[in-house]
Amino acid sequence: MKIIDKVNSIKNQELTATENLEQMYNVIQEKNDDINAFVETDLPRAQKVAEDIDKRIKNGEETGKLAGLVIGIKSNINVEDYIISAASPTLKDYIGSYNATVINKIQEEDGVIIGLTNMDEFAAGSSTETSMYGPTDNPSAPGHIPGGSSGGSAAAIASGMCDIALGSDTGGSIRNPASHCGVTGFKPTYGLVSRQGLLDLAMSLDQIGPLAKDVTGIALMLDVITGYDPYDPTTMKKETPEFLPYASNTSLDDMTVGVVKEFMDVTDDKINNKINQSIDTLSNLGAEIKELTFEDITLGLPTYYLINYVEFFSATRKYDGRKYGERIEEVCGPEVSRRIQIGSYISQKEFSGKYYKKALQARSLIRNDFNDLLGNVDIIAGPTVPKLPHKIGEQLDPMDMYAYDVLTVLANITGIPAGSMKAGLVDDIPVGIQLQAKPEEDYKVIKTMSALENN
């Protein structure tokens, strides 16, 4: 059953919100000890919400777009009265005193929040192994990483613990785990979704977005969480389109899809084979396929990480142990420590021009060149992640870990929308196809995903 069909069945009283919650919570109880997708749940609180929804439906009252759907939230997004730790000992006892804007919107539309999902510490990672709660397993490839940093959210969807989950995406942190776990994940255009209440990793790159098992779940959540927020000056002051109608699309007759040679060049051959099959499907659905080249690909990772280091260092200065939490440098894990130290070093006056300003110049170059690339096509299609996930506990050099992000960071550097959905299996492990579009053309990604999914 698609997510939109489930909402309709709840509204039509064929399934109650309470029954849906019970089914999901039973899966959490059965599987979470092994998978470690959720780090905190609150069933009594969720039951009250579900019972209220059922009561209103029975009385013929209006209910919201998410009526009765069970929602998981990444542990770096503020939900009142939950421990908002970002999976770090720094904030292990920090109880959220307010809701992020996206949480208020979910509650207004009758989403049933069941709990918080696991993640890499402060979202600094690509494997969900750096969490203070321990690693998350990949339900679709047991023993392998689920990807990161939103690995708990992806694993929760893949194992059937919730209907939709929120993640955050700074350099691929929604799309990377969506690919590894075989689910659908979406990073909206920068500024389309409020970041108020998100514990930032790199404020000029971060974006909140949804993960779900199908495109209707993605579109439904986007219809809820997008829009201007006076509390977040980076949000756009304009109307956003309805995304749900695009989630029933079946044809790509009017679409042109670009395939970038360099994206395929850095990707394992077995993954490319699956991606090429999906691209053939896009062609069969009516899309015109164009071959493209993008020589700036080698600039992506260094540009991204230099900006990330500096902005993360700046963001963590508030974790000084005075008002709340611990002093971050005294308790954090090695990857967070590495980013703080490098960020501190290149933020010094004598180095900032040499590194950070050059990274900002490179960002402008990449953005201009990528926009030129998108000028001739509606969508760019290619692999989401260039290699298969490693086994949990396997030691990787930091540069090998960063290499997971080579194809996803470009969407964050340029601020464009990007989604990942399952393209197939390689050695019984899911691999994802990434679809990217021009800024504010998020609907084209939804439209293309829908055609692929409904094929």
Q: Which residues are catalytic?
A: 74, 149, 173
Q: What's the N-to-C CA distance of the chain in angstroms?
A: 16
Q: Is the dihedral of CA 190, 196, 202, 203 positive or negative?
A: positive
CA gyration radius, the chain: 21
CA-to-CA separations, 204 to 123, 234, 326, 436, in angstroms, rounded: 15, 9, 25, 19
> Which residues on adjacent β-strands are paired with residue 258?
290, 380
292: burial class by Cβ within 10 Å (0-12, 13-18, 19+)? middle
Task: Label the pairing between strands 70-74 and 164-169.
Answer: parallel
Tokens of 309: 């280091």
Task: Report how many helices (DSSP H) and strands (DSSP E) the chain contains, helices first.
Answer: 17, 11
191: burial class by Cβ within 10 Å (0-12, 13-18, 19+)? buried
The full DSSP string for 238-252 is SPPPP-GGGGG----
> Which residues on adjacent β-strands are paired with residue 391?
144
CA-to-CA separations, 210 to 178, 197, 199, 272, in angstroms, rounded: 10, 16, 17, 26
Tokens of 173: 């942190």
H, E, C per residue of 52-75 = HHHHHHHCCCCCCCCCCCEEEEEC
